[in-house]
Chains A and B, each alone.
Chain A
Amino acid sequence: MSPEKQALTSTSSAHTPVSEGRSSNALAAALTRALGARKVLSNLSERLNYRYDAIQFGVTPLCVLLPESTADVVAVMRAARAAGVPVVGRGAASGLSGGAAPMVEAVVISFTRMTRLEIRPERREALAQPGVITLKVSEDARPHGLVYPPDPASFRTSTIGGNLGENAGGPMCFKYGVTGDYVKALEFVDADGDVHQLTRDAYDLAGLLIGSEGTLGLITDATLRLSTPAKYTRTLMAHFPEVGQAAEAVSSAIAAGAVPSKLEFMDQACTNAIEDYLHLGLPREAGAVLLVDTDGDDLHTVEEERALVEQACLAAGGQVRRAATDAEAAALWQARRSVSPALGRIRPQRMNEDIVVPRSALPEVVREIRALGDASGLTLVQFGHIGDGNLHPNILFNPRTESAEAVHTLAHEIALVAIRHGGVLSGEHGIGTMKRDFMRDAVDPVTLGALRDVKRALDPTGALNPGKILPDDVAGGLHAHP
């Protein structure tokens, strides 16, 4: 049975009389009385649609709440606590680690209607409720000459709340950082339904909430730092006979002092998938392709930095192509943005890894992962924000014909490669349920104990997004993989 199906059947009405029998449950009825029918979804057809994110299939929620204010969130949290029902927060559910998919019967709070956004140009900040679409922050800031740099691939869809929950990054993160680097203050509702206002002073509790995937509290407002866009950008593409050479070029360019704004990498399987799909004229024979942007307000420095990268690429055995015009640069970046659609055409499903390793280890890591992929018999491709050591090895598979166990095993082996080289399990997609199992390999028992203590302090009854991040003592059943 496929992993999704496993998750589905284990929660379907045949096994647990949840779906239809309790659709008009007492909690939903009470919340409807308190908040109005517009904000509460309790029919099966409505609830079914809130059990998943971009990868996982979870448990159909008991009811779904669409709050319009912090007060609504407080009301839901109190009611859920009184009823002893867990709570799972959710943005656009475009995440890839199962973070927003309920793993047990729960109330799902979907933030898509909390979309208030205020730009304060004089303070270079934006006030955003969690349901604001990420791209909208930059769109509204642009007339004031400001931008919001974090740019996850899903920025047209994903919400600020989801980005905060997963501490999302993107191609710009090497030079400009990830979501958490742009948070000045947060408001959150805790498991008891109390509202807290946090800045980054004293104990950086805001920092703890960011990337906690809704397991410590639900963020209901954020003050985000805006910055000014760079005046100049230069783009180059380099290609290499072998995948490790690209990683060597990255290591030495950065060691030489270059700080590219974007530094992305695609292996041969990726470039060929894109070529099959879009026919952009990418070098099919190359083992790996690098795409690099350097930017800044001083053209001389921007071009000098590009020259540094270029020299490093040539020294590592690559060939370099500069983008002569903006249109040419846009065409090159179109290739990188097309990775997902191109891969979707090869196999219906993919397991997206999200490891980060020290840059010095990159050449060895990408070679080892390539070898693991070749040995596994599964289709494995690699790409990612290689500038900060963030790699996305993707296992492409057909759940009808390929074994879920083999996929899971390969994913685990890849995670172990990252850990062995001093890396971490997640760069920008979170741990969720997908990598929860691997936490025992990555974090020592004492530290894991400390993390559990933190969780217990903020969420004593374990009501917030159970089954995520921390492997607990409940054996099996809660997690779905891959």
Chain B
Amino acid sequence: MNNDIPAHVPGGQGEVMAHAVDACVHCGFCLPACPTYALLGDEMDSPRGRIILMKEVLEGGLPLMDAAPHLDRCLGCMGCVTACPSGVPYGELITAFRGWSEPRRTRTPFDRAKRYAILKALPAPKLFSVAARVGQYAKPLAPLLPNALRSPLDLLPEHVPAMQPSPAITPAKGPQRGRVAFLVGCAQQALAPNFNAATLRVLARNGIEVVVPDGQGCCGAAALHTGARDEALTLVRANLNAFDPDDFDAILSNAAGCGAGLKEYPMVLHGEPDEARARAFAAKVMDISEYLNGLLQDGALEPMVPASRPLKVAYHDACHLAHAQGVKAAPRALLRAIPGVTVLEVPEGDLCCGSAGTYNLEQPELATQLGQRKAKHILSTTPDLIASGNIGCHTQIQSHVRRQHSGVPVMHTVEVLDLAYRGEL
């Protein structure tokens, strides 16, 4: 599609957006991949419709606030990126657009306060943990609250676990075969500390030394995807300083959203002095499942103890793993490597569970509809266990599976591997 996106859009971001708009040929192949199109059935809430809206706003043909409701409803799940035959980098467009538009738009005081709270709490695990504890005690009040406040409470577990800081260095067990850096994540430390503990155990068991570099922080994805570009840049630069890619075989994340965020650094810094550093950094970033699957494919993954009974595992593709990072085969291969495990495919598996980024907090009604739909599809496979690779999906799916009165456990892929290594599966 042609565009006249003007040069006043700052730095490399205007170029990034113009390139994405140019690549779209409007074929509509993205429509069935879009969760909001599936729910609402109109063009404005489809990827190609949003591309038009962004183009029109950037060109000055449409007021930003007219387009905003539809752009705000985009989950950023990137299902459309996987489906797009022309390779439109939609993620780069919407992310850059949100950064460009946020300072130009109006928000209600309530909206502003909510966003401020989210952006402050998410990257600060301790603060988030405190907030989660407060929320945990507020849960009984949930039915009395408006939906915007109720839905985050619904997602909280019954008991918020204690924080478990990760050690600076976890030595390899047995002969050392590799050395990796690990991004510990933010909300995840507060809500599911066992994800990290399991990750460290599984890596060590495979002869990998794990370093948690000092000075690392939030990956910045939440800030970036909600349009808080300045905050995001601060976080991105802090991580570029904390991780020296030359020191490690890989930089690992076990949260799909964070991993995708780290891989976006070159786009964020496009046209800026740190772009080359960001490229070197991003080239080393891998999801934990990609890294372990590398060992598996080389025949170097330590064998796991067979499951105590035949086990059906429904694997849920986290959007930021499957669509944003293109990692689909690796987690399945790892789960299948556990003797006795069958991996089940979930109907409508490519559609987001509704929890992408801060969507639960910003669009609670659509998020709830998508969560219900996802839980129904997963449970239709009658699994013994549900596995996924992202904290956001984890909380969402757990919450909706429970609401559908099912007790099927929901785990991170690496937790399942950890249990298998310990003979507890």
- Give residues 330-358 of A contacting B (CB, 8 Å): 340-341, 344-345, 348-350
Main DSSP-derived SS at the B contact region: loop
A45, B85: Cβ atoms closer than 8 Å: no
Do A157 and B66 form a contact, CB below 8 Å, given A12-B61, A344-B86, A344-B87? no
The answer to whether A348 and B66 touch across the interface, beta carbons within 8 angstroms, is no
Q: How far is the CB of B353 from chain A (nearest CB, A)?
A: 21
Q: Does A113 lie within 8 Å of B41, measured CB to CB?
A: yes
Residue on A with the closest CB to B43?
A49
Contacts of A154 in B (CB 8 A): 27-29
Pairwise interchain contact B53-A53, C-beta atoms closer than 8 A: no
Q: Is the CB of A399 within 8 A of B25?
A: no
- What distance in Å separates the Cβ of B59 from its nearest Cβ neighbour in chain A? 10
How many B residues touch A, CB cutoff 8 Å?
30
Q: In whole angstroms, what is the CA distance A2 to B43 when docked?
A: 24
The answer to whether A49 touches B26 (Cβ under 8 A) is: no
Residue B28 contacts which of A43, A92, A349 (CB distance < 8 angstroms)? A92
A4 close to B (CB within 8 Å): yes
Task: Point out the residue from B31, B67, B86 that lies within 8 Å of A45, measured CB to CB.
Answer: B67
Tell me how many residues of A have a C-beta within 8 Å of chain B. Answer: 39
Q: CA of A53 to CA of B43 in the docked complex: distance in angstroms?
A: 11
A382 → B minimal CB distance (Å): 18
Task: Tell me whether B26 and A52 are in contact (CB under 8 A).
Answer: yes
Q: In the complex, are the beta carbons of B85 and A399 less than 8 A apart?
A: no
Is B213 at the interface (CB under 8 A from chain A)? Answer: no
Contact indicator A49/B32 (Cβ below 8 Å): no
> Is B52 in the interface zone, CB < 8 Å from A?
yes
Q: Which of B27-52 contact A (CB under 8 A)?
A: 27-29, 31-32, 41-44, 46, 49, 52
A50 and B43 within 8 A (CB): yes
Q: Digitize B266-285: 1 where CB-to-A-CB distance is under 8 Å, 0 elsewhere.
A: 00000000000000000000
- A104 to B408 CA separation, bound complex (whole angstroms): 56
B2 on the A face (CB < 8 A): yes
CB of A66 closer than 8 Å to a CB of B: yes
Q: How many A-B residue pairs have CB under 8 A?
A: 94
B49 touches A49 (CB 8 A): yes
What's the least CB distance linking B105 to chain A, in Å? 14
Q: Of residues B25, B27, B53, B62, which shows the largest number of chain A Cβ atoms within 10 Å of its Cβ?
A: B27
CA gap between A4 and B3 in the complex, in Å: 10
Q: Is A133 an interface residue (CB 8 A)?
A: yes
Which of chain B's residues has its CB closest to A43's CB?
B66
Shortest distance from the beta carbon of B90 to any chain A beta carbon, whole Å:
14
CB-defined contacts of A208 to chain B, threshold 8 Å: none
* Interface residue? A112 (CB, 8 A): yes
Residue A116 lies at the interface, judged by CB distance under 8 Å to chain B: no
B2 touches A2 (CB 8 A): yes
In angstroms, how far is the closest chain B Cβ from the Cβ of A249?
29
Q: Is the CB of B53 within 8 A of A49?
A: yes
Is B9 located at the chain interface by the 8 A CB criterion?
A: no
* Interchain nearest-CB distance for A60 vs B (Å): 10
Name the B residues within 8 Å of A43 (CB-CB): 66
Distance (whole angstroms) from the CB of B212 to the closest CB of chain A: 38
Contacts of B28 in A (CB 8 A): 53-54, 92-94, 154, 157-158
- The reply on B230 being an interface residue by CB < 8 A is no
A448 interface residue (CB < 8 Å to B): no
Which residues of the partner chain B approach A13 to less than 8 Å between Cβ atoms?
A: 61
CB distance A344 to B56 under 8 Å? no
- The CA of A280 and the CA of B29, in the complex, are separated in Å by 23
Contact A340 B27 (CB under 8 A): yes
Q: Does A426 contact B (CB under 8 A)?
A: no
B302 at the interface (CB under 8 A from A): no
Answer whether residue A120 sits at the interface, using C-beta atoms and an 8 A cutoff.
Answer: no
Identify 27 residue pairs between A and B in the complex whose beta-carbon atoms are under 8 Å apart, listed by A's number: A45-B56, A45-B62, A45-B70, A46-B42, A48-B52, A48-B56, A49-B43, A49-B46, A50-B43, A52-B52, A54-B25, A66-B42, A92-B31, A93-B26, A93-B28, A110-B43, A112-B41, A112-B42, A133-B32, A156-B29, A157-B31, A340-B27, A341-B84, A344-B87, A345-B87, A399-B2, A400-B2
- Extra 7 A-B pairs, beta carbons < 8 Å, given A45-B56, A154-B27, A345-B87: A45-B53, A46-B42, A52-B26, A54-B26, A93-B43, A157-B28, A341-B87
